[in-house]
Amino acid sequence: MTDSILVLNAGSSSIKFQLFAVEGRELQRRLKGQIEGIGAQPHFTAKDADGALLIEQSYAPDEVADVPSAMAILNRWLEERLAGARPIAVGHRVVHGGPSFDTPVLVDDAVLSELENYVPLAPLHQPNNLAPIKAIRERWPGMPQVACFDTAFHRGHGELADRFAIPEALYQEGVRRYGFHGLSYEYIAQALPQVAPEVADGRVIVAHLGSGASLCALKAGRSLDSTMGFTALDGLPMGTRPGALDSGVVLYLIGHKGMDAAELEHLLYHGSGLKGLSGVSNDVRDLLASEAPGAKLALDYFAYRTAKEMGALASVLGGLDAIVFTAGIGENAPEIRESICERMAWLGITLDEAANAEGATRISRGDSRPLVLVIPTDEERMIAEHTLDCTELREAG
């Protein structure tokens, strides 16, 4: 049986997975699927490399009540599918690497303990990222596992981009601007030389727009700055998160509304953003289909804030050669791309309406400077590549 690498991306109510066959230094995607609706309406689907459905099964909520129970089902299914063979390694997306981790790392007891310390910095993501690591350590003892961090790609930021205007002691404790979605940005940086070589070494803003959303300023393929900061709350408005927020608002909610930490956390992570603004939904597809005034407000606000932050990053870059849209909204919502680009027309952007509507790779007109591109991201492939690298280094050592 060909060696394989399993990639896991776990959230609060879902586990996305992919299996890659390892053929020399090449990775070939073999399986792709997810268990979603964990604890509510659990549903397991998987497809092979050609898109053929391999399994589609629903469960009672108590059968898949949490991420560990979902992992048990996934592990059993994989063992049956692979005829008892196990992957040679498992790679995981871990949102926060804190100040300690700036590259992917093999997980051991010390690493896992350190990553637990960063749960307060990413309470929506980190516990769920770590749950599959623990489950696999129990089921497959000795299995090499690699943590790949969404913060790592941004760790080369200069001091001015890295700091808040707070006392030095807090910075030394790790209170700094980390940036996130780094695996996505790393993939786009690697893809640009093939997709648009004329701008790959230039000044590029990548817009990772999904339920979580951020922008990254790339120069010669390296991250100079990002809209996200200490946590995944900062920057652009998101599905249920507010993005940049005057810290005085938090003080007001504590002092005058009597909110405690748990209430604030729920408001900022689950009750704000497009959901809070619209009063309709956190899903852009629902908002585009809605005639409610709040839906239009939320979409206009999202485009306004995205264009505003793009202007700031263009200043950081000293100009702009290209904008790249990626992730769920960026890849699939031409209306949102158009609304953002209209607000960026002062830079010389002219959109090709037909190309944008069909989701072409290049959606700007030939006379447009900067270029505007749509490039699907592939965080799972980046994780698989990093996992293979770390596993080979382990074997070589």
Active site residues: 150
Strands (DSSP E) contained in 210-364 are 213-219, 222-226, 322-326
**Angle between helix 334-343 and helix 293-317 axes, rounded to 10 deg:** 50
Alpha carbon 343 to its chain centroid, in Å, reads: 25
Judged by DSSP in three states, 365 sits in coil
Euclidean distance between CA atoms 11 and 124, whole angstroms = 8
Structure tokens at 204: 């590029």
Euclidean distance between CA atoms 367 and 372, whole angstroms = 11
Neighbours of 134 (CB within 10 A): 15
Point out which residues pair with 214 in neighbouring strands.
208
Output the CA–CA distances (angstroms, integers) from residue 289 to 183, 272, 326, 355, 371, in the order listed: 31, 20, 21, 22, 29
Neighbours of 132 (CB within 10 A): 25
DSSP 298: H
Dihedral of the alpha carbons of 268, 174, 127, 143, in degrees to the nearest 10: 150
Dihedral sign for Cα 245, 249, 254, 257, please: negative
